[in-house]
Structure 1
Amino acid sequence: MVLHNILKRDHAYLIVVFLSIIAGDFTRKLHDPRLKRNLSAAIGFLIAVLFCGWEMSHLMISTCVGTLIIKTLQTGFMPRIVFGFSFLYRLFFCLLTYGSAWRNENTLANGIQLIAMIKMISVAYEIAEHRKSRSVHSNGIPNGNSVLNDPSNHKSLHLLEEPSTSDIVCYMYCFLGLSTGPFFRYRTYHDMLHMPKHVSDSIPVMGMILSRLPIFIVLVMLSTALGDYFPSEYMKSDNFYEDSLIYRFCYVIPIGFVGMSRYGVVWFLSEFSFTAAGLGVYPEAKKSQPGRGPSIFSENDQIWSMKENPKPVKYDCEAITNIYIVEGFTSETYGKTFRYWNCTVQWWLAHYIYASRILSGKHALLKWIAVGVVSAVWHGFRAGYYFAFVGMVYITFAEKLLLSEVTCGLTGFSKNVADVLHYFLFKVIGIGSFMTMFVLSSYEDILRYLTSVYFGIYSIATLSILLAAASSVLSKRKANFVAKVKPE
């Protein structure tokens, strides 16, 4: 029996992550890497079959073709070819959504394909870097053709050995985060499989989970209460547009809280399953970062010592922390809020898009536009993704100009008023509008709403850019005038 025929998709996500917590605690206690690898992949395969039906074939096709490219091609272009194939297959999958006979929107196939694409690209680049490093060591001659324009703050642990075909397939099918994320690199997965018994037994799993449980409970209550009082479907009704302009303009505020809370609930549960399995758990001394893993390491770092450390070791799960909800809610600006959102995927975007050789030397704004476009296309072809992600770049750019050219020169009461207005319009309305674009999704619903509020946050961002430009011109004229009248 295929469960997607009797369960709603949101319920399916919750069931999968709850089961993953139980399965993760079991697999952590297995100390045979091969057994742990095979069982984790078998559970993932079972989830794909039960919750996707025949659509699990998409994961099979993308995994098999991607792995075949990796193992067949030994050239430096291999990861780019994998990138191209994975991205094109993702586009093909999204196109199927528009034919109701080809896609069942109630399955978890879309979430699985989202994660599968970035995992396949990541493992291709990791293997390419390993081959490059091995070639350098064997020849003794540095190779200047780096796979990535890799700044020091993006460098991550390299592979100790090249994964076999079965290793890659099992990594792709690993049940942890299969349809929800967080994203994790192959090296992070490898470190979980080879975690020694004395380490897995000493990880305070329950303590790690309980430390974040109060925030999780608040998110559940917030998303449930606000979701009942401010249903997103109401924005698509005719009655909504009979309400006042101020009500329509501010309705995005609860939508933003509900959206962030619901994503937070799913990601928290996924993080709990990762922690239970020991995936992404490293010593605190390694100063792990989301997606990247340890930031302090030596070449060919084994991470785990086979001998038990006589001193107690503190561990954290920062490598797979996908959301810092408190920091996100309390950050002062629109741009900073997103630094704490979907953090593991942000690392992937920074590493493989922003820092790519193709964009090397390009203006930062162009790089951010590329990141926004790739994020939107990665999610699919719905208009809401483009209004959200490309719009996010535009709004962040406007906010930075406003803060650097206008509000920075204010003092006293005017400064306080400007700060309050900025926080409300950019932070509160801006984040709410981002989530609203996701909720409305279709071009018709989005355009209907935006025209009813005079394009809301996008008009505010445009006016901010014009205000910043005018302020910059006036400042330069003032500086020139002062320079002319200044006595010799």
Structure 2
Amino acid sequence: MAGGRALYAGSRVFQWLANFVGLPIDQLNFIISQSVMLLLAVLYRKVLRHQNVSVETRQIFTLSCGIALGYFCFGHQISHLCVQGTLAYIVMNNVNPEILHRRVLFISMLYLSSLHLLRLQYEFGGWTLDITGPVMIATQKVTSIAFSLHDGLTRPEDKLTVHQRKHIIKRIPTMLEFFSYIFHFQTLLCGPLVFYNDYIDFVKGTNPQVSKNPEEVFIESPPPKQVVRKLAGSIFFGLFLIFVVPFFPVNYLKDPKYLYETSWYGQLLYLVICTSFARCKYYHAWLLGEAVANASGLGFNGFTTDGKPKWDLVSNIDILKFELSLNVRDTVKTWNKSTQQWLKMIVYDRAPTHKTLLTFLLSALWHGFYPGYYFTFFGGALFTMAARSVRRSIRPYFQSSRQMAFVYDIITCLSTKVGLAYIVFPFVIVEFYASLQVYWNFYFIGHILSIIAIFLLPKVFPPPEGQSKSAREEMDKLIPTASEINRFFQSRKALN
């Protein structure tokens, strides 16, 4: 069965250029589209200012450009965004606000899951650009609207978290507002997620989050260095992907030479290098998306304490903080930040119990059904609990002096880097058996050490008085009991 780029539905007008530069047509189309979006963003900010044109004109422009460039990149597959968005919009207009958020979540995730399963059939483990990525972002958009609408129509504000109050919606968006949000060109191809209220404030030219006056306009001109810096970073990582990353292929992890002829420390070193380099494609795409958003004037997020404007509203990654993070917590906080906000908004802040378990579960389903993903998410949960246990039990012994604290930071920084490679490589090679082989070669040492840290370390080195509950107690809370599982399904049955 034909698959991958043979089934690529996007435009092939520039196939001659793809052949000339040696890039696959889908990747070239992505670069062309993002370059055009950057030019449109400058035009949008300079010509279609909110003082010069109506809000509807700004929305129609972002909608039209998004559909046109989406069709260029994905061809007829762009219809998936239309269908998913239409289904969600119908539910919002016809279902009781008390349950509409759950219905929209179910329908959107079901639609996204069907695309994930379809991709498993025609291109298992491939990286051809298709509509799945934009649908993942659209899923975040429609569900965040639904949950914010539920909050605005059914819940008193004093019962909401600060984050939920910021994003509440008290009326159903018009079709133009809704679909211009789904298709707006600034973040259509690779994100990051922009929440609905932030988008509407942007097209209206208002920013009630930083002023008591709801008519105060945004600062619509980001510092040129803000855009140039992100654009330069994206170009750097793009060139790195072309000229360096191919020398460290992830598929080498499945090679018998790596598995059986390389020393364990050589295997570990290659694991760290290839997973670090694999992140470059995310850095390239996310920085380019942020540059486009900022160039159009989207991304202003208030002021710093010294009065300087911040442009981090549209941000998915802090590369330096991520790469130099001292612990798992800081690593997680600086990676794919908009998705973390989405998960916090619709799962973590709402689940009565097993918050971490349900958050990891939705995140895994949202990413798809490759077996390697579930190795990574299970390992991530395990390592997070282990890191908390180590911090509580061991860190106090290193706080007696500044030098000892520095030694602790160096150790945790290096161990986090190695642990991250150990956790995430299945996410990159995606295959069940290949992931299992690599773990078997390391004797599952990372998992074993994590379990020891969770269950035995607190007994050998009890956390000082006043420390919060042990990681083992938290782990126990993650595992639902039989009665809790039964209550969960009974409640779902009652809702249906």
TM-score, reference length from structure 1: 0.79
Deviations along 1:124-172, one digit per CA (max 9) or x if unpaired, are: 223333334xxxxxxxxxx55x7x9632355314447541123212211
Structure 1 partner of 2:386? 398
Other-structure match for 1:164: 174
Contact 2:181 2:196 (C-alpha < 8 Å) held by counterparts: yes
Q: Which residue of 1 aligns with 2:3?
A: none
Kept in 2, the 8 Å contact 1:91–1:377? The answer is yes
Map of 1:338 onto structure 2: 332
Q: Deviations over 1:209-244 (max 9, x none)?
A: 134456556545655565144222222222222211
Distance across 1 between alignment mates of 2:249 and 2:141: 34
Corresponding residue number in structure 1 for 2:268: 249
**2:220 and 2:298 in contact (8 A); partners too:** no
- Alpha-carbon distance in structure 2 between the residues aligned to 1:474 and 1:200: 48
For residue 181 of structure 1, give the secondary structure of its aligned residue in structure 2. coil
1:42 corresponds to: 64
For 1:129 and 1:37, locate their aligned partners in 2 and report how far apart those are by CA, in whole Å.
25
Q: Is the partner of 2:121 in helix, strand or coil?
A: coil
Q: Which amino acid aligns with 1:343?
A: K
Structure 1 residue 122: deviation in Å? 0.9
Q: How does 1:335-484 map to 2 (within 5 A)?
A: 335-356=329-350, 359-360=351-352, 362=353, 366-410=354-398, 420-425=410-415, 427-472=416-461
**1:275: how far off?**
0.7
Kept in 1, the 8 Å contact 2:186–2:293? The answer is yes
Partner residue in 2 for 1:173: 183
- Please state whether the residue corresponding to 2:120 is helix, strand or coil: coil
Structure number with greater CO (CA < 8 Å, separation at least 6) is: 1
Following superposition, the deviation at residue 86 of structure 1 comes to 1.0
- Unmatched tracts of structure 2, length 5 or more: 1-7, 16-23, 207-214, 466-496
CA displacement 1:260-305 (0-9 Å, x = unmatched)? 33311211110011111222324326x9xxxxxxxxxxxxxxxxxx
Shift of 1:342: 0.9
3-state DSSP class of the match of 2:343? Answer: helix
SS in 1 for 2:194: coil
Percent identical pairs in the alignment equals: 20
1:151: which partner in 2?
161
How far does residue 252 in structure 1 lie from its aligned partner after superposition? 1.8
Distance (Å, rounded) in 2 between the aligned partners of 1:240 and 1:71: 56
Q: 1:318 aligns with which of 312, 337, 360?
A: 312
* In 1: Cα distance, 2:73 partner to 2:92 partner: 28
Opposite residue 37 of structure 2, the aligned amino acid is S
Q: Which of these residues, 62, 82, 86, is aligned with residue 108 of structure 2?
A: 86
C-alpha offsets along residues 381-437 of structure 1, whole Å, 9 cap, x if unaligned? 001211222321210110110121134235689877665444323x11122234422
Name the aligned partner's letter for residue 261 of structure 1: C
Tell me the distance in 2 between the aligned counterparts of 1:342 and 1:393: 16
The structure 1 residue matched to 2:31, chosen from 11, 14, 17, is 14
Asked if the contact 2:316–2:337 (Cα under 8 Å) also holds between the matched residues in 1, the reply is yes
Which moved further from structure 2: 7-16 or 59-68? 7-16
AA partner of residue 54 (structure 2): D
Contact 2:325–2:413 at 8 Å: present in 1 too?
A: no
Task: Tell me the SS of whatever aligns to 1:316.
Answer: coil
Distance in 1 (CA, whole Å) between partners of 2:238 and 2:446 is: 28
Which among 275, 285, 289 is matched to residue 270 of structure 1?
A: 289
Superposed displacement of residue 329, structure 1: 1.8
Counterpart position of 1:484: none
Quick one: structure 1 residues 240 and 125, their matched pair in 2 at CA, closer, same or farther if it must change by over 3 Å?
same
AA aligned opposite 2:252: Y
Where structure 1 has 5 or more consecutive residues not aligned to the other structure, the ranges are: 133-142, 288-312, 477-488
Q: Quick one: structure 1 residues 274 and 160, their matched pair in 2 at CA, closer, same or farther if it must change by over 3 Å? A: farther
Q: In structure 1, how many angstroms separate the alpha carbons of the residues matched to 2:462 and 2:317?
A: 40
How many residues were matched structurally?
A: 432
Given that residues 259 and 435 in structure 1 are in contact (C-alpha distance below 8 angstroms), is that contact kept between their aligned partners in structure 2? no
Q: Deviations over 1:166-209 (max 9, x none)?
A: 32122112222113110011111111211279957851352321
Residues 1:273 and 1:80: Cα distance change in structure 2 (over 3 Å): same
Give the conservation status (yes or no) of the 8 Å contact 1:182–1:270: yes
Amino acid at match of 2:109: F
- Per-residue deviation, residues 302-325 of structure 1 (Å, max 9, x unmatched): xxxxxxxxxxx8533221111111
Asked whether the equivalents of residues 233 and 284 of structure 2 are also in contact (C-alpha less than 8 Å), the reply is: no
Q: Is the 8 A contact 2:151 2:164 kept in 1?
A: no
In structure 1, the partner of 2:484 is none
Distance 1:190 1:474 in 2: 48
User: Does the CA contact (< 8 Å) of 1:402 and 1:467 recur in 2?
Assistant: no
Tell me the amino acid that sits aligned with residue 390 of structure 1. F
Q: State the one-letter code of the partner of 1:15.
A: I
Deviates more, 1:72-81 or 1:339-348: 72-81
Provide the rounded CA distance (Å) in 2 between the counterparts of 1:454 and 1:8. 41
Report the CA distance shift for 1:223/1:270 in structure 2 as closer, same or farther (over 3 A): same
Match of 1:189 among 194, 199, 202: 199
Among 81, 98, 112, the alignment partner of 1:59 is 81
